Amino acid sequence: MQVIFHSHACFEINSAQGKILIDPFLRDNPKAIVSPDDFQELDAVLVSHGHGDHLGDAIEIALKTGAILIANSELADFAARSGVKVHRLHIGGKYQFPFGTVKLTQAIHGSGIANGDGTYLYGGLACGFLIQAEGKWLYHAGDTGLFGDMQIIGRYHDLELAMLPIGDNYVMGPEDAVIAAQMLRAKHVVPMHFDTFPLIRQDAGNFLDLLQRKAPECVGILLDVGQMMEL
């Protein structure tokens, strides 16, 4: 299985079961090096919540590729109005797709869809994703603060990889992300949601050092934008 980091919270997962894209924020993302047009064959686009840096180009990509857009019910309903094929899930629920099993987890965060004039459409609740493909469990935390039930996620899923935000301000900072890693006990931890904008600038090297000291059972991996890791 290949996991490719497309900057911010966007990851592409290519397994023997199919191709999944998570939170494709590309066109308005100063750090992205791929564009929505670079995706031709895709089985699913997963969207963790309604904020622009996650919903991003998801609808456009799903429309163009015919991929199914998976999100919480309210956000999926919003996407469906554009003619996108959707699958509605909600927190705690999972569904077995041909390309893998997707389960929605809680995330402590908002999910409003900005109208652009300071008002918001209701976008359900922010979520994270547990994804199982090729028998391996991956966890994409979405945008979230630290929460104690990560312990439960870690206890009941043998996580091959956890993708955790470290950017602080809107989401967990490096210290909390290390505590998250301790609870999740994932074999590999990849930091995300940092350095995209000045406000969320972080020293990812410091995060990896802290992780190694406080959670030595987790291997921290820093992916450059566009870099792929093999699982």
Please state, in angstroms and rounded to a whole number, the distance separating the CA atoms of residues 66 and 45.
Answer: 10
Kindly state whether residue 53 participates in binding Mn ion, applying the rule CB under 5 A. Answer: yes
- CB closer to Mn ion out of 65 and 144: 144
- Which of 23, 43, 74, 143 binds Mn ion (CB under 5 A)? It is 143
Cβ at position 219, least distance to Ni ion in Å: 27
Q: Rule CB under 5 A: is residue 23 a binding residue for Mn ion?
A: no
Could you give the count of Cα atoms lying within 13 Å of 192 in the half-sphere of its Cβ?
28
- Using CB distances below 5 to 8 A depending on partner kind, what does residue 168 bind out of Ni ion, Mn ion, none? none
Owner of token pair 């109005």 = 81
Q: Which residues bind Ni ion (CB under 5 A)?
A: 51, 143
Output the smallest distance, CB 123 to Ni ion, in A.
10
Minimum gap (Å) between residue 142 Cβ and Ni ion: 8
Nearest approach in angstroms of CB 122 to Ni ion is: 15
CA distances from 129 to 28, 116, 198, 226 (A): 23, 27, 27, 21
What totals of helices (H) and strands (E) does the chain contain, helices first? 6, 16
When CB distances to Ni ion are compared, the closest residue is 51
Question: Would you tell me the crossing angle of helices 73-80 and 58-65 to the nearest 10 degrees?
Answer: 60
